[in-house]
Amino acid sequence: MTDADADADTTTTLAPDPAFPIRVRGLRNAFGGQVVHDRLDLDVRRGEILGVVGGSGTGKSVLMRSIIGLQVPEAGTIDVLGQSITAARDDRDIAIRSRWGVLFQGGALFSTLTVAQNVEVPLREFHPDIGDDLLAEIARYKVRMTGLPMSAGARFPAQLSGGMRKRAGLARALALDPELLFLDEPTAGLDPIGAAAFDQLILGLQATLGLTVFLITHDLDTLYEICDRVAVLADHRVIAVGTIPELLALDHPWIDEYFKGPRGRAAQSARRKGG
The helices-and-strands tally (H runs, E runs) of the chain is 10, 10
Count the Cβ atoms, other than its own, within 10 Å of residue 9: 12
pLDDT reported for residue 269? 62
- Please give the backbone phi and psi of residue 227, each rounded to the nearest 5 degrees, phi first: -85, 135
- What are the extents of the domains in the chain? 113-177
3-class SS at 208?
Answer: helix
Cα(262)–Cα(64) distance, integer angstroms: 28
Q: What is the dihedral of CA 107, 108, 114, 115, to 10 degrees?
A: -30
SS3 letters across 48-67: CEEEEEECCCCCHHHHHHHH
- What does DSSP assign to residue 275? -
Burial class (CB in 10 A: 0-12, 13-18, 19+), 250: middle
Please report, in tens digits, the pLDDT of each residue of the chain (275 residues total).
444 333 334 445 566 788 999 999 999 999 988 999 999 999 999 999 999 999 999 999 999 999 999 999 999 999 999 999 887 655 556 678 999 999 998 778 999 999 999 999 999 999 999 999 999 999 999 999 999 999 999 999 999 999 999 999 999 999 999 999 999 999 999 999 999 999 999 999 999 999 999 999 999 999 999 999 999 999 999 999 999 999 999 989 999 999 887 666 666 666 656 65
Cα(145)–Cα(253) distance, integer angstroms: 41
Cα(254)–Cα(245) distance, integer angstroms: 15
The residue among 90, 93, 86 whose CA lies nearest residue 14 is 86
